[in-house]
Amino acid sequence: GREWHLVARPDGWPTPEDFALREVPVEAPTAGRILVRNLYFSVDPYMRGRMNDVKSYVPPFQLDAPMDGGAVGEVIASEAEGFAVGDHVLHGLGWREYANLPAKHAKKVDGSLAPLSAYLGVLGMPGLTAYAGLLDVASFKPGDAVFVSGAAGAVGSEVGQIARLKGASRVIGSAGSDEKVKLLVDEYGFDAAFNYKNGPVAEQLKEAAPDGIDVYFDNVGGDHLEAALGRLNQFGRVALCGAIAQYNDKGAPTGPRNLALAIGKRLRLQGFIVGDHSDLQPQFVDEVSGWVRSGELKYNETFVEGIDNGVEGFLGMLRGENTGKMIIDLSR
Ligand code: NDP
């Protein structure tokens, strides 16, 4: 089976030369383990951070070793009780064709309840990030005006729709293309949206949120965060989820230069990591899968086919080539 290794630590934007696709033997599982043929694996923004050799909330990828991350696959051999050949499982050994792992690190998923890829996106880690970040971290309440950046992505598209479904007074999103902006308004039911590449974020946000905002869900950082601070109403809340605008920066990060506004406006800014919110998992799956079934919550996925295109898919995600969740498809 083939697997992607990190072979050099990127400096700024990763290049294809930082990675190698290597062939390794596929071994039969020993006691307590399963062998899985991966059908889909996830490429996520946080993986860029793991390519740096720095201490963080997840350890860095090791050089000349397989990268890992979320994946869904089919059990093809099992030495573990409760796991049979043909079962579908969600697990943490992505970036490879075959995964050999302890069964206790795998979770069975049901492809008849939702497409298997949904467990990596709308019903998976990014979905819980949206749900917990908005409802718990940002203390969303009905009547709030909510602004979310990265709004056409996996997390952002779900944040905006949960806010709408939970009674936001206004939902505003930003994204990096006119097509995505149209999708936000026409398909996801945002009240207003703008393309951050078409002009200064602060000006476009002011136009989209004439009465200000109460919650900012930050996926981007930089000028987006600065613009949001300028637009937040008194006692506004910010969920600091990600800062993708600076993940590939080499120099000093930009802004926000207006943080002192938080004092007079009595703002609360809180960073969070989805892993700390697993208590909300059952409630999240229950509520969101209901909205998905009823068609009230829509989601997109962008599939890149074949293990050979794994790194290209990851880089494409960082460049904004995805609408909704970016997924590497090994099922064909
Ligand atoms: P997305 O599906 O949103 O994909 C990333 C998107 O980021 C791209 O599609 C692109 O869209 C946008 N983007 C790239 N560069 C820039 C830029 N310079 N400025 C603005 N937007 C940019 O990814 P996810 O939904 O998986 O993740 C979204 C955010 O949430 C990330 O910041 C991620 O790190 C964070 N996150 C945090 C978690 C936590 O526990 N705190 C857990 C999961 C995710 P566009 O075309 O609009 O530019």
Other CB atoms within 10 Å distance of the CB of residue 320:
17
Report pLDDT digits (tens) over 122-143.
999 999 999 999 999 999 999 9
For ligand 1, which residues put their CB under 6 angstroms from it?
A: 44-46, 126, 129, 150, 152-156, 175-177, 180, 219-220, 241-242, 244-245, 272-274, 317-318, 320, 322, 325-326
Q: Which positions ≥6 away from 252 have C-beta within 8 Å?
A: none
Q: How confident is the model at residue 255 (pLDDT cuts 50, 70, 90)?
A: confident
Pocket test for ligand 1, best of 122, 244, 278, 318 (most atoms within 8 A of CB): 244
Q: Which positions ≥6 away from 158 have C-beta within 8 Å?
A: 122, 126, 127, 130, 131, 288, 297, 299
Mean pLDDT of 293-318: 98
Tell me the CA–centroid distance for residue 153 and ligand 1, in Å: 6
In this prediction the ipTM stands at 0.99
Do residues 14 and 303 make contact, with C-beta atoms less than 8 angstroms apart?
no
- What residues pair up with 210 in beta bridges, in sequence order? none
Strand, coil or helix: what is 113? coil
Q: Which positions ≥6 away from 318 have C-beta within 8 Å?
A: 13, 14, 45, 48, 244, 247, 248
Question: Looking at ligand 1, which atom is closest to the CA of residue 326?
Answer: 2
Which residue type occupies 275?
Answer: G
Its sign, for the CA torsion 212, 165, 274, 114, is negative
Report pLDDT digits (tens) over 84-123.
999 999 999 999 999 999 999 999 999 999 999 999 999 9
- Predicted local confidence at residue 251, as pLDDT: 83
Pairing of strands 2-6, 268-271: unpaired
Domains defined for the chain, CATH in brackets: 2-121+300-329 (3.90.180.10), 125-276 (3.40.50.720)
Residue among 198, 249, 245, 248 nearest 224 (CA): 245
- Predicted local confidence at residue 219, as pLDDT: 98
Residue among 121, 193, 199 nearest 153 (CA): 121
Using the CB atoms, write b or e for 151-172: b if 16+ within 10 Å.
Answer: bbbbbbbbbbbbbbeeebebbb
Scanning the structure block, which residue is given the tokens 């309440």?
A: 141
Mean pLDDT of 254-272: 96
Tell me the CA–centroid distance for residue 313 and ligand 1, in Å: 14
- Predicted local confidence at residue 254, as pLDDT: 79
Mean pLDDT of 166-171: 98
Atom 2 in ligand 1: which residue has the minimum CA distance? 153
Tell me the CA–centroid distance for residue 177 and ligand 1, in Å: 14
- Predicted local confidence at residue 32, as pLDDT: 98
Percent of the chain with pLDDT over 70: 100
Which residue type occupies 308?
Answer: D
Question: Looking at ligand 1, which atom is closest to the CA of residue 323?
Answer: 9
Q: Is residue 253's pLDDT more than 90?
A: no
Q: Is residue 15's pLDDT more than 90?
A: yes
Pocket test for ligand 1, best of 219, 277, 326 (most atoms within 8 A of CB): 219
DSSP string across 187-230: TS--SEEEEGGGS-HHHHHHHH-TT-EEEEEESS-HHHHHHHHH
- Predicted local confidence at residue 62, as pLDDT: 97
Strand, coil or helix: what is 122? coil
What the block records as the tokens of 210 is 């004439």
Report pLDDT digits (tens) over 185-241.
999 999 999 999 999 999 999 999 999 999 999 999 999 999 999 999 999 999 999
Tell me the CA–centroid distance for residue 205 and ligand 1, in Å: 19
Question: Looking at ligand 1, which atom is closest to the CA of residue 242?
Answer: 32
Q: Is residue 163's pLDDT more than 90?
A: yes
Residue among 27, 19, 13, 78 nearest 328 (CA): 19
Tell me the CA–centroid distance for residue 107 and ligand 1, in Å: 26
Do residues 317 and 304 make contact, with C-beta atoms less than 8 angstroms apart?
no
On the question of a cis peptide bond just before residue 256, with omega within 30 degrees of 0, the verdict is: yes
